[in-house]
A and B are shown apart, each in its own frame.
Chain A
Amino acid sequence: MLRNDPIKHVFIWPAVLVVLAISIFPLIYSLTTSFLSYRLIPPIPPRVVWFGNYASLLQEPRFWNAILTTTLIAFIAVGLQYVIGFGVALALNARVPGERLFRVALLLPMLLAPVAVALVARMIFNPTMGPLNQLLSMFGLANLPFLTNGHWALACIIAVEIWQWTPFIILMMLAGLQTLPEDVYEAAELENASAWQQFWGITFPMMLPISGAVVFIRLIESYKIMDTVFVMTGGGPGVDTETLTLFAYQEGFKKFNLGYTSALSFLFLIAITIIGVTYLALLRPHLEKRR
Chain B
Amino acid sequence: MLRRTFLMLTTSLAMACAASQAHAACSPDYSGVTLTVATQTGPYIASALKLGADEWTKKTCGKVNVVEFPWSELYPKIVTSLTSSDATFDLVSFAPAWLPDFVPYLSEMPKDMQSGKDWDDIEPAYRERLMVWEGKIYSQSMDGDVHTYTYRTDLFSDPKEKDAFKAKYGYDLAPPKTWKQYLDIAEFFQRPDKGLWGTAEAFRRGGQQFWFFFSHAAAYTNNPNYPGAMFFDPETMDAQINNPGWVKGLEEYIRASKLGPPNALNFSFGEVNAAVAGGQVAESIGWGDTGVIAADPKQSKISGKVGSAVLPGSDEIWNAKTKKWDKFPAVLPAPFMAFGGWQVGVPNAGKNQKAAWDFVKTLTSPEVSGQAAITGGTGVNPYRKSHTANLELWSKIFSPAEAKEYLGAQAESINGKNVALDMRLPGYFSYTEVVEIELGKALAGQTTPQAALDAIAKEWNRLTDEFGRAKQLAAYRAAMGLPPKK
Q: Which A-chain residue is minimally distant from B444 (CB atoms)?
A: A237
Q: Looking at the assembled complex, report how far the CB atom of B434 sits from the nearest CB atom of chain A, in whole angstroms.
A: 10
B444→A40 contact, CB < 8 A? no
- B79, B206, B427, B438 pick with most chain A CB within 10 angstroms: B427
Chain A residues whose CB sits within 8 angstroms of the CB of B101 once the complex forms: 41-42
Chain B residues whose CB sits within 8 angstroms of the CB of A239 once the complex forms: 437, 440
A145→B263 contact, CB < 8 A? yes
Q: Which of B202-258 contact A (CB under 8 A)?
A: 204-206
Confirm or deny: B467 has a beta carbon within 8 angstroms of a beta carbon on chain A: yes
Chain B residues whose CB sits within 8 angstroms of the CB of A149 once the complex forms: 444
Chain A residues whose CB sits within 8 angstroms of the CB of B440 once the complex forms: 236-240
Confirm or deny: B179 has a beta carbon within 8 angstroms of a beta carbon on chain A: no
Q: Which residue from B75, B104, B262, B446 sits with its C-beta under 8 Å from A238?
A: B446
Q: Which of A234-291 contact B (CB under 8 A)?
A: 234-240, 250, 253-257
A238→B441 contact, CB < 8 A? yes
B427→A40 contact, CB < 8 A? no
Confirm or deny: A164 has a beta carbon within 8 angstroms of a beta carbon on chain B: no
B429→A148 contact, CB < 8 A? no
Chain B residues whose CB sits within 8 angstroms of the CB of A150 once the complex forms: 444, 446
Q: Measured between alpha carbons, how far is A147 from B262 in the docked complex, in Å?
A: 12
B75→A40 contact, CB < 8 A? no
Confirm or deny: B399 has a beta carbon within 8 angstroms of a beta carbon on chain A: no
Q: Which of A126-152 contact B (CB under 8 A)?
A: 126-128, 133, 143, 145, 147-150
Chain A residues whose CB sits within 8 angstroms of the CB of B438 once the complex forms: 238
Confirm or deny: A97 has a beta carbon within 8 angstroms of a beta carbon on chain B: no
Q: Can you list, as one digit per residue, whether each of B431-446 has a CB less than 8 Å from chain A (1) or not (0)?
A: 0010011101101101
Q: Looking at the assembled complex, report how far the CB atom of B290 sits from the nearest CB atom of chain A, in whole angstroms.
A: 17
Q: Measured between alpha carbons, how far is A253 from B81 in the docked complex, in Å?
A: 12
Confirm or deny: B76 has a beta carbon within 8 angstroms of a beta carbon on chain A: yes
Q: Measured between alpha carbons, how far is A135 from B466 in the docked complex, in Å?
A: 51
Query: Beyond A239-B437, A254-B76, is A148–B265 a contact (Cβ under 8 Å)?
Result: yes
- B83, B205, B446 pick with most chain A CB within 10 angstroms: B205
B205→A256 contact, CB < 8 A? no
Chain A residues whose CB sits within 8 angstroms of the CB of B76 once the complex forms: 253-254, 256
B426→A148 contact, CB < 8 A? no
Q: Looking at the assembled complex, report how far the CB atom of B40 sits from the nearest CB atom of chain A, in whole angstroms.
A: 15
Q: Which B-chain residue is minimally distant from A62 (CB atoms)?
A: B437
Chain A residues whose CB sits within 8 angstroms of the CB of B412 once the complex forms: none
Q: Which of A71-115 contact B (CB under 8 A)?
A: none
B427→A143 contact, CB < 8 A? no
Q: Which residue from A39, A44, A126, A253 sits with its C-beta under 8 Å from B266?
A: A126
Query: Beyond A147-B266, A150-B444, A239-B437, is A255–B429 a contact (Cβ under 8 Å)?
Result: yes
Size bin of chain B's contact surface: 20 to 34
A42→B262 contact, CB < 8 A? no
Confirm or deny: B271 has a beta carbon within 8 angstroms of a beta carbon on chain A: yes
Confirm or deny: A43 has a beta carbon within 8 angstroms of a beta carbon on chain B: yes
Query: Beyond A143-B263, A147-B266, is A44–B433 a contact (Cβ under 8 Å)?
Result: no
B79→A127 contact, CB < 8 A? no
Q: Which A-chain residue is minimally distant from B271 (CB atoms)?
A: A128
Q: Which A-chain residue is minimally distant from B209 (CB atoms)?
A: A236
Q: Looking at the assembled complex, report how far the CB atom of A153 sits from the nearest CB atom of chain B, in whole angstroms.
A: 10
Chain B residues whose CB sits within 8 angstroms of the CB of A236 once the complex forms: 204-206, 436-437, 440
A128→B72 contact, CB < 8 A? no
Q: Looking at the assembled complex, report how far the CB atom of B274 sits from the nearest CB atom of chain A, in whole angstroms.
A: 8
Chain B residues whose CB sits within 8 angstroms of the CB of A40 once the complex forms: 79, 83
Q: Measured between alpha carbons, how far is A240 from B76 in the docked complex, in Å?
A: 23
Query: Beyond A236-B204, A253-B76, is A127–B427 a contact (Cβ under 8 Å)?
Result: no
Query: Beyond A41-B101, A234-B72, A237-B205, is A128–B261 a contact (Cβ under 8 Å)?
Result: yes
Q: Measured between alpha carbons, how far is A236 from B437 in the docked complex, in Å?
A: 8
Q: Which of A1-50 contact B (CB under 8 A)?
A: 39-44
A255→B263 contact, CB < 8 A? no
B426→A128 contact, CB < 8 A? no
Confirm or deny: B85 has a beta carbon within 8 angstroms of a beta carbon on chain A: no
Q: Which residue from A43, A145, A238, A257 sits with its C-beta under 8 Å from B430?
A: A257
Query: Beyond A237-B440, A254-B433, is A42–B426 a contact (Cβ under 8 Å)?
Result: yes
Chain A residues whose CB sits within 8 angstroms of the CB of B444 once the complex forms: 148-150, 237-238, 240
Chain B residues whose CB sits within 8 angstroms of the CB of A44 once the complex forms: 466-468
Size bin of chain A's contact surface: 20 to 34
Q: Which A-chain residue is minimally distant from B102 (CB atoms)?
A: A41
Chain A residues whose CB sits within 8 angstroms of the CB of B427 once the complex forms: 39, 41-42, 255
Q: Looking at the assembled complex, report how far the CB atom of A236 sits from the nearest CB atom of chain B, in whole angstroms.
A: 4
Q: Measured between alpha carbons, how far is A236 from B72 in the docked complex, in Å?
A: 14
Q: Measured between alpha carbons, how far is A253 from B79 in the docked complex, in Å?
A: 9
Q: Measured between alpha carbons, how far is A125 from B277 in the docked complex, in Å?
A: 22
Q: Measured between alpha carbons, how far is A5 from B72 in the docked complex, in Å?
A: 56
Q: Measured between alpha carbons, how far is A254 from B468 in the docked complex, in Å?
A: 19
Q: Looking at the assembled complex, report how far the CB atom of A255 sits from the nearest CB atom of chain B, in whole angstroms.
A: 5
Q: Which residue from A41, A128, A238, A256 sits with its C-beta under 8 Å from B263?
A: A128
A41→B265 contact, CB < 8 A? no
Chain A residues whose CB sits within 8 angstroms of the CB of B83 once the complex forms: 40-41, 43, 256
Q: Can you list, as one digit per residue, whether each of B59-73 has a CB less than 8 Å from chain A (1) or not (0)?
A: 000000000000010
A127→B263 contact, CB < 8 A? yes
Chain A residues whose CB sits within 8 angstroms of the CB of B104 once the complex forms: 43
Q: Looking at the assembled complex, report how far the CB atom of B77 sits from the nearest CB atom of chain A, in whole angstroms.
A: 9
Chain A residues whose CB sits within 8 angstroms of the CB of B75 once the complex forms: 254
Q: Measured between alpha carbons, how far is A145 from B264 in the docked complex, in Å?
A: 10
Q: Measured between alpha carbons, how far is A41 from B466 in the docked complex, in Å?
A: 12
Q: Which A-chain residue is minimally distant from B263 (CB atoms)?
A: A127
Q: Which of A146-170 contact B (CB under 8 A)?
A: 147-150
Chain B residues whose CB sits within 8 angstroms of the CB of A62 once the complex forms: 437
Q: Which B-chain residue is minimally distant from A137 (CB atoms)?
A: B262
Q: Measured between alpha carbons, how far is A290 from B154 in the docked complex, in Å?
A: 78
A41→B79 contact, CB < 8 A? yes
Chain B residues whose CB sits within 8 angstroms of the CB of A43 once the complex forms: 83, 104
Q: Measured between alpha carbons, how far is A62 from B440 in the docked complex, in Å?
A: 14
B265→A145 contact, CB < 8 A? yes
A127→B266 contact, CB < 8 A? yes
Q: Looking at the assembled complex, report how far the CB atom of A122 sits from the nearest CB atom of chain B, in whole angstroms.
A: 10
Q: Measured between alpha carbons, how far is A256 from B467 in the docked complex, in Å?
A: 13
Q: Can you list, as one digit per residue, whether each of B447-471 has a CB less than 8 Å from chain A (1) or not (0)?
A: 0000000000000000000111001
Chain A residues whose CB sits within 8 angstroms of the CB of B266 once the complex forms: 126-128, 145, 147-148
Q: Measured between alpha carbons, how far is A253 from B72 in the docked complex, in Å?
A: 10
Q: Which A-chain residue is minimally distant from B443 (CB atoms)?
A: A237
Q: Measured between alpha carbons, how far is A2 from B486 in the docked complex, in Å?
A: 79
B433→A234 contact, CB < 8 A? no
Q: Measured between alpha carbons, how far is A41 from B429 in the docked complex, in Å?
A: 9
Q: Measured between alpha carbons, how far is A239 from B459 in the docked complex, in Å?
A: 16
Other A-B pairs beyond A237-B444, A238-B444, A240-B440, 5, CB < 8 Å: A41-B101, A43-B83, A147-B266, A236-B436, A254-B75
Top 10 A-B pairs, shortest CB-CB distance:
A127-B263, A42-B426, A238-B440, A236-B205, A148-B265, A238-B441, A253-B76, A234-B206, A237-B440, A255-B430
Q: List 5 A-B contacts (CB under 8 A).
A: A42-B426, A148-B204, A236-B205, A254-B433, A255-B430
